[in-house]
A and B are shown apart, each in its own frame.
Chain A
Amino acid sequence: MSREEPIWERADYSKVPYQLYHDPEIYRREQERIFRGPAWSVLGLEAEIPNPGDYRIAYAGDLPIVFNRDRDGRINAFVNRCAHRGSEVVREPRGNVKDFTCIYHAWCYSAQGDLVGVPFVRGVRGQGGMPADFRMADHGLRTLRVATFNGLIFGTFHEAAEPLEQYLGSLMVENVGEILARPIRLLGYQRQRIHANWKMYLENVRDAYHASLLHEFNRTFGLSRLTQTSGGYMDERHRHAMLFQFKGSDAEDAARKAYSDGQVQRGEYMTLRDESLVAAITENRTGVSTRIISIFPNAVVHQIANCLGLRRVRTRGPAELEIEFVLFGYQDDDEAMTAHRINQANMVGPAGLISMEDGEALERVQRATRPDPSGAGIIEMGGKGPLMNLDTRVNEMPVRGFWSYYSELMGIEPEGAQR
């Protein structure tokens, strides 16, 4: 990032320079200023570590983090790196243990990350061992501050990070809170590795415009159409976002005509032999049928009809990301509802009928912008200038919101930046 010229051409983030997706120096700085900075990263769900001793690996950017539940039921998180020589301490992605022992020299840590055992610390028969000034208390694992909200676990490296609920803002508190208001039951994991920069995915989940254009399944079965009652909302700081719509709020014929007039629909509309895949059973107060809720910097909570899930995004260098979909239902679901949710999980994940396209679209952007990253993408759907909530999905405003908070943390805000 050794350049004199400012990164942003426009203060409202309506032109995104392609270099932001490719520059290794920018990637390094993101890890430091965002994932190890004042943001709260989503680590996982309390339901993933229900019992004392349970642990799981998650990622803050590309940094492996262990989060666990200790004997007192408290949740802890630390970087998976031994204080001695830097080896990974935990080697399995999940498990249940009394303590954490590194295989290399058997240094042992408590659930809280404190160093509790160093073999032969005082040597043997008066020879060897650590120097007299070695103190175990100085060599714990690097820990994160942990906070939870309705069973969702967050971690941050910053002592000065704002309180979690303030960071989330009322839109997130209300909607994530509502989806996670009842005890959940895990239904399974799906993982997808996309060979594209991580920010493209976080733009994608804030991009209300593409959902019915790229994902034809959405359009055909009325799960998401630009003709519906819908919108893209953000929190006060515009860092998080929620795209939503109400299935059934547009007339079938008028919607089809709109897409046909727009030259989008070619050929015949398909039909399903089994319509249960697209049936939405109302479970919430407002009747909203889809909510894609993006939590800065690394997570999404989604409700697509009755498919519920958390998506964790792990960065794997400037040119690769992994999405881990954690699908869940509620503990009091009956057998039929559980089966319905399992069926609707067909809509998401690497083979998702309304998500597989994202893998293809993002890789195409990555490939086409890498050879000459001097250009910029346009984000003007919904208008330029101030960032605001709009009651339409013909709208890319939340993508600009993402860049606004991103740039603040990165220290690359242009003069007169929109916040």
Chain B
Amino acid sequence: MKVDPSVKERIERLIVDSAMFIDRDELDAWIACFEQEARYVVLPRENRELDLPVGIIHCENRARLEDRIVCLRHANKYNPHYDRHIVSLPRILALDGDVASVETNFMVVQTDKTGESRLFCAGVYEDRIRLGDEGARFVERIAVVDTFAVPTLMATPV
């Protein structure tokens, strides 16, 4: 759909910035990309096709998302690695008031601490983004993953 270039630019910046925050391990900045009531789900594509609700990660609000990150920082042990997100240009599907519905393809390449890279995940972000006065924020992000047979484990969000 046709949208104002400034709207398009704000959406693109949120998508690119949020991906970069994960890659830089700046997860507090990543969480700040979400509204308080925002929903974040990593959904296996097979569950989407079967209309089943369980996610690989499933946070119904930002408090739960923050809990996830606290656990990641203080409790979980996982494979030390670097993430690298590659995102496509966002496809803006609809603009309803100040909320845009957007789809963006993504891939995550993981590199271990010996310098070996592998494709970790491919999928599509299905986002609802509020273009508020303080900036663009996610109201909902569903990362539908094609790579639902997750290699090793998924610690950092995608």
A interface with B by C-beta (< 8 Å) = 93, 186-195, 214-217, 220, 267-268, 270-274, 277, 322, 327, 338-339, 342-343, 345-346, 349-351, 353, 356-357, 359-361, 363
Indicate which residue in B42, B47, B66, B75 contacts A351 across the interface (CB closer than 8 Å): B42
B window 53-92: CB within 8 A of A: 53-61, 63-64, 66-68, 70-71, 74-79
Residue of B nearest to A362 (CB): B152
26 CB contacts below 8 A, A to B, read A93-B46, A186-B50, A188-B44, A189-B44, A191-B149, A215-B75, A216-B75, A270-B70, A270-B74, A271-B70, A272-B70, A273-B66, A277-B67, A338-B53, A339-B60, A342-B55, A345-B54, A345-B55, A345-B58, A351-B57, A351-B154, A353-B71, A357-B153, A359-B153, A360-B153, A363-B79
Indicate which residue in B53, B70, B77, B155 contacts A187 across the interface (CB closer than 8 Å): B53
Known: A188-B47, A189-B47, A273-B67. A350 touches B78 (CB 8 A): no
Tell me which residues across on chain A come within 8 A of B7, comparing CB atoms. Answer: none
The answer, yes or no, to whether B52 is at the interface (CB within 8 Å) is: yes
Tell me which residues across on chain A come within 8 A of B119, comparing CB atoms. Answer: none
A317 to B52, CA, bound (A): 30
For B26-48 the 0/1 string (1 means CB < 8 A from A) is 00000000000000001010110
Tell me which residues across on chain A come within 8 A of B60, comparing CB atoms. Answer: 339, 343
Are B75 and A220 in touch, CB under 8 angstroms?
yes
Are A188 and B55 in touch, CB under 8 angstroms?
yes
Residue of B nearest to A219 (CB): B75
For B8-26 the 0/1 string (1 means CB < 8 A from A) is 0000000000000000000
Indicate which residue in B52, B58, B66, B150 contacts A346 across the interface (CB closer than 8 Å): B58
B58 to A: closest C-beta gap in Å: 6
Tell me which residues across on chain B come within 8 A of A277, comparing CB atoms. Answer: 64, 67
Residue of A nearest to B63 (CB): A273
Known: A346-B58, A356-B78. A351 touches B153 (CB 8 A): yes
Indicate which residue in B54, B57, B67, B78 contacts A272 across the interface (CB closer than 8 Å): B67
Query: Tally of A-B residue pairs with Cβ under 8 A?
Result: 127
Main DSSP-derived SS at the A contact region = mixed
A210 to B: closest C-beta gap in Å: 11
Tell me which residues across on chain B come within 8 A of A271, comparing CB atoms. Answer: 70
Closest CB pairs A-B (n = 3)? A188-B54, A359-B153, A350-B150
Are B64 and A192 in touch, CB under 8 angstroms?
no
B8 to A: closest C-beta gap in Å: 32
B80 to A: closest C-beta gap in Å: 9
B157 to A: closest C-beta gap in Å: 8
Residue of B nearest to A359 (CB): B153
B145 to A: closest C-beta gap in Å: 10
Are A350 and B46 in touch, CB under 8 angstroms?
no
Are A356 and B76 in touch, CB under 8 angstroms?
yes
A129 to B58, CA, bound (A): 57
Are A274 and B67 in touch, CB under 8 angstroms?
yes
The answer, yes or no, to whether B151 is at the interface (CB within 8 Å) is: yes
Are A274 and B44 in touch, CB under 8 angstroms?
no
A191 to B151, CA, bound (A): 9
B148 to A: closest C-beta gap in Å: 6
Tell me which residues across on chain A come within 8 A of B42, comparing CB atoms. Answer: 351
Indicate which residue in A189, A195, A217, A350 contacts B71 across the interface (CB closer than 8 Å): A217
Tell me which residues across on chain B come within 8 A of A220, comparing CB atoms. Answer: 75
Known: A342-B53, A357-B78. A191 touches B148 (CB 8 A): yes
Known: A187-B52, A193-B149, A357-B77. A270 touches B63 (CB 8 A): no
Tell me which residues across on chain B come within 8 A of A186, comparing CB atoms. Answer: 50, 52
The residue in A273, A327, A351 that gathers the most chain B C-beta atoms within 10 A of its C-beta is: A351
Are A191 and B67 in touch, CB under 8 angstroms?
no
Tell me which residues across on chain B come within 8 A of A363, comparing CB atoms. Answer: 79, 152
Are A190 and B79 in touch, CB under 8 angstroms?
no
Tell me which residues across on chain A come within 8 A of B63, comparing CB atoms. Answer: 273-274
Indicate which residue in B61, B64, B76, B149 contacts A322 across the interface (CB closer than 8 Å): B149
A50 to B79, CA, bound (A): 39
A415 to B154, CA, bound (A): 44
Known: A193-B151, A272-B67, A351-B42. A187 touches B78 (CB 8 A): no
Tell me which residues across on chain B come within 8 A of A189, comparing CB atoms. Answer: 44, 46-47, 50, 52, 54, 148
Indicate which residue in B54, B59, B70, B78 contacts A360 across the interface (CB closer than 8 Å): B78
A272 to B56, CA, bound (A): 19
Tell me which residues across on chain A come within 8 A of B64, comparing CB atoms. Answer: 273-274, 277, 343
B51 to A: closest C-beta gap in Å: 10
Tell me which residues across on chain B come within 8 A of A345, comparing CB atoms. Answer: 54-55, 58
